[in-house]
Amino acid sequence: MNIPFPVKETIDSRRSARSYKLTAVDRDIISSIKDFVNSMEVTFEHNVEIRFFNADPTKTLYPLMISPPDNIAFMSETDIISISKVGFVGELLVLFAQSKGISTCWYGHYKLSELERLMPHLRSADDFKEANMGYGYSKGITTGRRAICITPIGYYDDSGLRLMDRMTNKKFSFKRKKIEELLENQNDYKNLSEDVLYALDLGRKAPSAANAQMWRFAFEDDFKTITIAMPVGYKHFKWEHPNVDIGICASHVWLGLIDKGYDPQVTVSDDSGRAVWRIGI
């Protein structure tokens, strides 16, 4: 498997950007992102569609942020497995963009009516009502294909940082739990190989909504299979779709193993309302 960017360096340098220059992304870079999407090889079936759209800086799409011209919507069905695959596939795009000097930020909460105006994608007024809180795709159960998350793609602009962001140095904060805290069974730590620890270290650096880091790691098959899932019954009071984040984390672990020369097999299944990713080496 050939990953067209340096895995660790790209993951270590990515941060969510919430301030962008209002200039369009170089067309060659947009083409390279499109080529990457079309040639992306993952070892599981998926139905995730990446849709590019332009935003209007005078209208609110992202809360508290002016939209840069170029943006992407990650589209899929809304069952648990499909939205988790959005995380996995979408994060590969995010990292590829990062390696080209393009900033991103996953947004689960965006103004749905403005997205629909810019990029009509809902089937009916009922689709819109299902997401009746106005932000994001849904607070409850929905049907059909939808934009699950969106991201701006553009050039980071630190002169536009809000005072609060400067004071808290938000752009560069990278607070993450330690691997030990993310193991379902802490006693497993001593049995993990250097390569598995390398992959889990990249996994723990994944972005998650409100930086909740709801992923937990466990092992099967004499430590030859890593499982990644949220705890049974996990709920976050602000983010309704944490299985997206689990897919993001799984993509980092997968990339870490590829970086160490493995050809990891990936499956994802629904277990107690959670997406459970299994990555076998």
Ligand X SMILES: Cc1cc2nc3c(=O)[nH]c(=O)nc-3n(C[C@H](O)[C@H](O)[C@H](O)COP(=O)(O)O)c2cc1C
* Contacts to ligand X by CB under 6 A: 15-16, 18, 105-109, 149, 174, 207-211, 244-245, 248
Of 192 and 216, nearer to ligand X (C-beta) is 216
DSSP per position, 193-251: -HHHHHHHHHHHTS--GGG----EEEEETTTTEEEEEPPTT---SS-S-HHHHHHHHHH
CB of 17 to ligand X, least distance (A): 8
Of 179 and 192, nearer to ligand X (C-beta) is 179
Of 111 and 192, nearer to ligand X (C-beta) is 111
Closest CA to 242 of 203, 209, 278: 209
Of 241 and 281, nearer to ligand X (C-beta) is 241
- Residue with smallest beta-carbon separation from ligand X: 207
Give the end-to-end CA distance of the chain in Å, rounded to a whole number.
14
CB of 191 to ligand X, least distance (A): 29
Q: What is the DSSP letter of 62?
A: B
Q: Which residue type is seen at 40?
A: M
In angstroms, the CA 87 to CA 92 distance is: 9
Helix (H) or strand (E) holding 109: none
Of 47 and 211, nearer to ligand X (C-beta) is 211
CA 126 vs CA 75, 138, 142, 148: distances in Å = 18, 12, 10, 17
Of 165 and 195, nearer to ligand X (C-beta) is 165
CB of 256 to ligand X, least distance (A): 16
CB of 3 to ligand X, least distance (A): 20
